[in-house]
Chains A and B, each alone.
Chain A
Amino acid sequence: MNENIEETMLDLLCKKATYGLNPQEEKQLAELEKEMGREGESESFELTAATLAMADLDTSKAMPANLQSRILAEAERYFDKTPESRASTVSAFVSDEAPSGSLFNWLGWAFAAAACLALALNIFYTREQSTIVQGTLPTPTPAEKLTPLQMRQRLIDSAPDLARADWGAGNVKELTPSGDIVWSDAKQAGYMRLSGLPVNDPNKETYQLWIFDETQDDKTPIDGGTFTVNSAGEVIIPINAKLQPKNTKMYAITVEKPGGVVVSKREKIVALAKRET
């Protein structure tokens, strides 16, 4: 009797791992596992199948950028309504124009506080340059409290694969942006140094960076994050890439609706930079 049960159970476990079970079979397996006192055994078969599925998996093709953006948007909705997630303190993909009342709005305040702290420290320690940052910040250790300018310099000093490009005009002819962008594939970090972009009202529009690289089609460049310019003069902005750029070749800044967009219509390209090194 037990041997028959064992046989049936094994058949169901193997089938579940390789091709899944219908609802009746699922119910039968659950009953058998309970009867045999082996609840949860099916997971070891599923883990086996999952391991085998990775044997020669080609993972070189990146997920489409628009899909990744949809997942991040879904994450925002999911974690915003999951109470326990509110314990979180940092989000790498928060936009600088988060919807009001959301977790991301709260995080926006946290980042605003961080930006104020960075600004205060910058003024206190350097008194050289007005540098204002909004958006997400690569996190220095609390003890370091580096300014964006210092973080940018640290990246330049430490990244042998650093790519650099100078900003030039886009399709908005009256704007003449200047500055540069630095990016390291190895560190997956970079900074924009920008002058000549007008202060924007984040309730009406946002700036959004796009990264063109070898992993994505030029029609769907990588979303480099949104940012706000709230001061004339030079600003330094950390890059918040939604995917992992590789061998970047060009960067563009567009003006978009608050919160940014998944795919830009490229109506207002305010700055362009082609990689030099």
Chain B
Amino acid sequence: MAQAILNRIATGDTDAVQDCLKTYGGLVWSLARRMLRNSEDAEDVVQEIFVDIWKNAERFDPSQSSETTFVAMIARRRIIDRIRYSARRISPDSLEDVLVEPTNRGDQTIQTSVEANEAAKALAALRPEQQQVLQLSIVEGLSHQEISDATGMPLGTVKTHARRGILQAREILGLGSTEIRKEVSA
């Protein structure tokens, strides 16, 4: 049933809007709260995200991704926009939360979805430095420069880890094309 929600929205089934909110509200809210760290910003952006989801519902292609991943992608786009244009800066206090080792996150409630398990496997397959950079950029929403400042890694190294990490994860998740596979093994 969940896989049909976006298709139903695309056809104008307003009943599906509430199903969408019930099914993906927690996901979208959690992504926004984690990356924005400000409740007011998160509330504003979540409202915008759901409008984006309705607008983009007809673009969802089940052969490309799960509906959950598609919704998460739409959400991240809007959250990233908000971060970039609100000139968000991390404070020294927040760094302690951000700079935890990727393996030390077992205390959180982990979503036991297919996507979460796939993501965990993909992350676990990466080198620790790649994991850390991707955690800070994708999960925490830090720019490469901010990661460099926070970790002391040279900016070029941060970019390399991010690039190789995401390429490898893309391959592991089966989302990559053959054209750039050689980069992964480099």
Contact = CB atoms under 8 A, between A and B. Distances in A.
B17 A72 contact: yes
A238 to B, nearest CB: 14
A6 B177 CA distance: 14
A85 B170 CA distance: 35
A35 interface: no
Interface stretch (A52-60, A119-127, A198-206, A257-265): A52-60
Interface residues of B, number: 74
A186 interface: no
Contacts of B115: 51, 54
Contact of A19 (B108, B141, B167): B141
Nearest to A18: B137
Contact of A14 (B12, B142, B167): B167
A155 to B, nearest CB: 19
Given A10-B183, A59-B111, A74-B47, A43 B12 contact: no
Contacts, number: 213
Interface stretch (A89-97, A159-167, A226-234): A89-97
**For chain A, which range describes its interface: under 10, 10 to 19, 20 to 34, or 35 or more residues?**
35 or more
A15 B15 CA distance: 37
Contacts of B12: 79, 82, 84-88
Interface string A35-70: 000100101111111111111111111111001101
A36 B166 CA distance: 21
Given A51-B69, A59-B27, A92-B15, A75 B166 contact: no
A244 interface: yes
A246 B122 CA distance: 33
The interface centre, meaning the residue of A41, A54, A70, A75 with most chain B CB atoms within 10 A of its CB, is A54
B97 interface: no
Contact of B30 (A15, A19, A48, A58): A58
B163 A11 contact: yes
B166 A18 contact: yes
A44 B21 contact: no
Interface in A1-31: 6, 10-11, 14-15, 17-20, 22
A115 interface: no
B159 A58 contact: no
A44 B17 CA distance: 26
A56 B21 contact: no
A103 interface: yes
B173 interface: yes
A87 B9 CA distance: 11
A60 B109 contact: yes
Interface in A211-266: 242-244
A14 B175 contact: no
Contacts of B163: 10-11, 14
A229 to B, nearest CB: 24
A49 B165 CA distance: 10
26 contacts: A10-B167, A17-B166, A19-B84, A19-B137, A22-B84, A43-B64, A43-B73, A45-B166, A46-B77, A47-B70, A49-B138, A51-B72, A51-B175, A54-B116, A57-B27, A57-B111, A60-B109, A61-B30, A63-B28, A63-B29, A71-B46, A72-B21, A74-B47, A84-B12, A88-B13, A93-B17
Interface of A: 6, 10-11, 14-15, 17-20, 22, 38, 41, 43-64, 67-68, 70-72, 74-75, 78-79, 82, 84-93, 103, 107, 242-244
